[in-house]
């Protein structure tokens, strides 16, 4: 754990050096900076140690943009976006044409312009075949290849201790997420059943 935290500290230090060098160069005003940190790391939470899971702790990452003439210092956007959004965003910012019909991400330029906007698109995470999570502003829904499900209210339960997938009051929310899960990632024989807490 000490080594992991030391790596983060050293990366932060060097990132600051890179930005300082960029800011003192001729390229300061025509260089887009995109930072996408490594995914999180469980350190014993939920009886899990490592970074391979579909829970918030392991899938939540830093997503930072600095676009000259567009973004402003110290702005924060709390909307949920995906790593798949990086490519279409850069394509739009650089006025490049790309295979728009063959990509899954969406340009987040509207959020870069106005971080207070509401983003209606959830982020989807896949870990091994048949296991997916969908995260929107309030909920994280997880469906495993064996059909088990987990549902967490991230606003009320940010540590994801209470699985709501079997709660009758959450049936409509759970069913809504089920329809969003990509069929291509689920085994044809997977049956839907309630998850375990």
pLDDT digits (tens, 9 = 90+) for 100-133: 667 778 999 999 999 999 998 888 888 888 899 9
Is the per-residue pLDDT at 96 higher than 60? yes
Q: Give the DSSP letter string of 124-161.
A: EEE-STT-EEEE-SSEEEEE-TTSBEEEEETTT-TT--
Q: Is the entire prediction scored with pTM above 0.75? A: yes
Q: How far apart are CA 34 and CA 135, in angstroms?
A: 22
pLDDT of residue 48: 65
Residue with tokens 């048949």: 130
CA distances from 145 to 23, 117, 126, 140, 167 (A): 47, 34, 11, 17, 21
CB of 173 closer than 8 Å to CB of 122: no
The whole-number average pLDDT for the span 69-79 is 91
CA-based R_g, the chain, Å: 19
CA distances from 160 to 30, 58, 156, 175 (A): 41, 12, 9, 19
Q: pLDDT > 70: what percent of the chain?
A: 85
Tens digit of pLDDT for each residue in 151-194? 999 999 998 999 999 999 999 999 999 888 755 444 444 444 33
pLDDT of residue 197: 33
Question: E-assigned strands of the chain?
Answer: 33-36, 42-43, 49-50, 63-66, 123-126, 132-135, 139-143, 149-153
């Amino acid at each position: 754990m000490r080594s992991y935290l030391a790596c983060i500290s050293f990366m932060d230090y060097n990132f600051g050096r890179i930005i300082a060098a960029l800011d003192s160069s001729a390229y300061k005003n025509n260089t887009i900076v995109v930072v996408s940190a490594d995914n999180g790391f469980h350190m014993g939470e939920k009886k899990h140690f490592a970074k391979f899971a579909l829970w918030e702790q392991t899938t939540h990452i830093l997503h930072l943009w600095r676009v000259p003439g567009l973004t402003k210092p110290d702005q924060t956007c709390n909307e949920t976006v995906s790593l798949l959004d990086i490519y279409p965003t850069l394509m739009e910012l650089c006025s490049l044409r790309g295979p728009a019909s063959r990509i899954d991400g969406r340009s987040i330029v509207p959020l870069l312009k106005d971080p207070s906007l509401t983003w209606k698109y959830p982020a989807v995470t896949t870990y091994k075949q048949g296991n997916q999570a969908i995260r929107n502003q309030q909920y994280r829904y997880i469906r495993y290849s064996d059909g088990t499900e987990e549902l967490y209210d991230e606003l009320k339960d940010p540590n994801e201790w209470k699985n709501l997938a079997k709660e009758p009051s959450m049936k409509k929310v759970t069913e809504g997420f089920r329809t969003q899960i990509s069929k291509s990632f689920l085994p044809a024989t997977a049956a839907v059943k309630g998850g375990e807490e």
